[in-house]
A and B are shown apart, each in its own frame.
Chain A
Amino acid sequence: MTSGPARFALASPENRPLLDVQDVGIAFGGLKAVNGFSLQLPERSLYGLIGPNGAGKTTVFNLLTGVYRPDRGGIRLARHDLTGRKPHEITLAGVARTFQNIRLFGEMSVLDNVRLAAQLRRSVGALSTFFRGPRFHRCEADLRDRALELLDVMELRGDADAPARSLSYGHQRRLEIARALATRPKVLLLDEPAAGMNPQEKQSLAKLIESLPERFELSVLLIDHDMGLVMKVCRKITVLDHGEIIAVGPPDRIQNDPNVIAAYLGEPTPDA
């Protein structure tokens, strides 16, 4: 966290976005899953990405994190060009994500799930692993402390030693966020973090997401089907339908946008 915003701000002028996505597209066979997608994510912002089922939201995440290589367009994070990079390189550059269909390391303990993500920029060789010198122990202790800190934030510390698959659904979603945060991202992509949560859980999740940009000095890009959550949390929203952007703007404008309403309620047929 010491690679602070001050230094960062010097490197990138105010008007330059942290994450800059320009005209990205991908097709599967004949289907254009995402077409001409652009997005400018400022620093420490909360940004929403919504759209009906199958609109291509998760595909956008997969493009941003390198799971799919875009057919065209470019992705930049600050000064790094991320277009076509491998997923782990993109994570290293500072883009972390959660998954819509939770993907935790089920057999590993909750602590180890986070610790694994925290070890990203700290490597220990095989020999050091065998001899376990002071360096090894210091590194492991640091990782543990950092992981426990994040578990505290997510109120998961009590479960630190439990295997991840034994957690409840809501806790698993929170653990995914903790794990993503442990990679020290500059941009955090949350894919339906509120899915399957009850109203209370959703409320505390909303509070948590709102606190993330200041606390961890990052920007959040949020996908969710809970419009209440997205409208409440995000300052700006992009709406996707059939892989194309149909609206961009602050929540109150989006709520009243006729295109968006049509996309969600279905097109009124001419005869009707």
Chain B
Amino acid sequence: MADFVQTLETALAVGSLYALIALGYTMVYGILKFINFAHGDVVVLGAWISYTVAQWCLKRLAPADGPPLWLGPVVLACAMTVCGVLGFLIERLAYKPLRRAPRLNVLITAIGVSLLLQNVGQLDAVFGSSPVSMPALLPNPALVRMSFGGPGSSEVVIGLVDATIFVTAGLLMLALETIVYRTRLGAAMRAVSFNAETAALMGINANRIISFTFVTGSVLAAAAGFLYAMKYPGLNQPAHTIWVLLGLKAFVSAVIGGIGNVRGALLGGFVIAFVEQFGAFYISSNYRDVYVFALLIIILLIRPTGILGTPYREKV
């Protein structure tokens, strides 16, 4: 029972990270109808920038009794800013010239951008090609202890870090939900997503909306990267397979939930995390990636547009 609850807790934490990243994939797909493969690499960048900034601040401050509490939010803000700018630049330089090109070409470009970010990040002049350890910006006291059964049996601990992940991810997703469904800007986004040309005729500046979408997605990705680094302080080098798999799983979440659908991304993130964590715990952790991809293939075969996606009919 304790194992079950502990796995559940991990799945929720990992799921909110996946969902946060999946939102970026899904928003771009909703508007431009292509898979922004480079999105996963923005997450990596977010994590590494968090590390770099945190490291630099700690060196300067050299606090005696652990990092001050305000450092975490500052690092997060830095990572979000840098990634937001980067997201803007990627869209402007790589994708905007291809607005009218076949979708496959944009997909290939996205793969190119992804490989470029990974490998430039790995240069010695940038982040280097060896793993580092993220300094703990937060103390991690146990907030909740649950014990099942008598004394001496294992107990479930929910730490501050996991709680921060829930809260931050939840707040950011709530903010996005508000923007998309409650503001004029969100209405414009949905209009562009529905039909970019008509939206442009209605006086919506589609290019600005697209830029905004990329910036928002990248900011969320940066937050996910920061939170990921808090939870798993051992940061691998930018081109490491583990990062690619993180991006892919988030992407799979978006697809499973129904790509282009904001709520689908949330649902997909948790579904994937549950399958992965429970599969890893109860079957075998060696095959955790297999569960995810197998689930993806099964869902795509049963419902090609994902759980919450709407079927699409091609016009003849």
Q: Which residues of A contact B (CB under 8 A)?
A: 28, 58, 62, 67, 99
Can you list the 3 inter-chain pairs with the closest CB atoms, starting with the nearest?
A: A67-B316, A62-B316, A99-B316
Contacts of A58 in B (CB 8 A): 316
Q: Is the interface of B mostly helix, strand, loop or mixed?
A: loop
Q: Which residues of B contact A (CB under 8 A)?
A: 313, 316
Contacts of A28 in B (CB 8 A): 313
Residue of B nearest to A100 (CB): B316
| A138 CA to B257 CA, complexed, in Å | 52
Contacts of B313 in A (CB 8 A): 28
Q: Is the interface of A mostly helix, strand, loop or mixed?
A: mixed
| A58 CA to B313 CA, complexed, in Å | 15
CB distance from A98 to the nearest CB of B (A): 12
Residue of A nearest to B315 (CB): A101
Contacts of A99 in B (CB 8 A): 316
| A58 CA to B316 CA, complexed, in Å | 8
CB distance from A28 to the nearest CB of B (A): 8
Residue of B nearest to A67 (CB): B316
| A67 CA to B316 CA, complexed, in Å | 8
Residue of A nearest to B313 (CB): A28
Contacts of A62 in B (CB 8 A): 316
| A99 CA to B313 CA, complexed, in Å | 17
| A99 CA to B316 CA, complexed, in Å | 8
| A62 CA to B316 CA, complexed, in Å | 8
Contacts of B316 in A (CB 8 A): 58, 62, 67, 99
Residue of B nearest to A65 (CB): B316
| A67 CA to B313 CA, complexed, in Å | 10
CB distance from B232 to the nearest CB of A (A): 46
CB distance from B171 to the nearest CB of A (A): 37
Residue of B nearest to A87 (CB): B316
| A231 CA to B314 CA, complexed, in Å | 32
Contacts of A67 in B (CB 8 A): 316
CB distance from A34 to the nearest CB of B (A): 14
CB distance from B285 to the nearest CB of A (A): 43
CB distance from B310 to the nearest CB of A (A): 11
| A48 CA to B43 CA, complexed, in Å | 60
CB distance from A87 to the nearest CB of B (A): 10
Residue of B nearest to A99 (CB): B316
Chain A to chain B contacts (Cβ below 8 Å), 5 pairs? A28-B313, A58-B316, A62-B316, A67-B316, A99-B316
Residue of B nearest to A28 (CB): B313
Residue of B nearest to A59 (CB): B316
CB distance from A192 to the nearest CB of B (A): 13
| A28 CA to B315 CA, complexed, in Å | 12
CB distance from A49 to the nearest CB of B (A): 16
CB distance from A115 to the nearest CB of B (A): 23
Residue of B nearest to A103 (CB): B316
CB distance from B192 to the nearest CB of A (A): 22
